[in-house]
Structure 1
Amino acid sequence: MESKIEVLSTVHIKHSEDLYKIVDLLNRTLKREDLMFGLALDQEDQNQAIFTIYRT
């Protein structure tokens, strides 16, 4: 059984200490809708974060 993850949208935003809380809340709330949210630091600019929405 193969699982395909599709990237729906990606945005670069200013990094904040509490961004992970929003991503965690979205993942817990919307997992039944086959949505997943990711957050990563931009490797080129540590003041920027990359927020991504996926469909699972």
Structure 2
Amino acid sequence: MKLDNNDIPTTGKLELIAVKSFKACDDMYKIIDFLNKTLKNKHVIFGLTKDAAKDTMKISIYEA
């Protein structure tokens, strides 16, 4: 196991833990950024995607 620049141990592969879709919210990226910065030492990573056509967002949670 190696450490990346943020001191998160990586095996080169992320494991998807959960995915949830919901109505789009403009400030959601701020929450995702906060969670990633706060929980990086817990080896979890949060991702956010937006589908503008459907006005939805999807949050993904990964274990590093």
TM-score (norm 1): 0.88
Structure 1 partner of 2:61: 53
SS in 2 for 1:51: strand
SS in 2 for 1:11: strand
Matched, 1:42 2:51: yes
SS in 1 for 2:13: coil
TM-score (norm 2): 0.77
Q: Which amino acid aligns with 1:25?
A: F
Q: Which runs of 5+ in 1 are unaligned?
A: none
Which has the higher Rg, Structure 1 or Structure 2?
2
Structure 2 partner of 1:5: 14
- Deviating runs (4+, > 6 A) in structure 1? none
Higher RCO (CA-CA < 8 Å; seq separation 6+)? 1
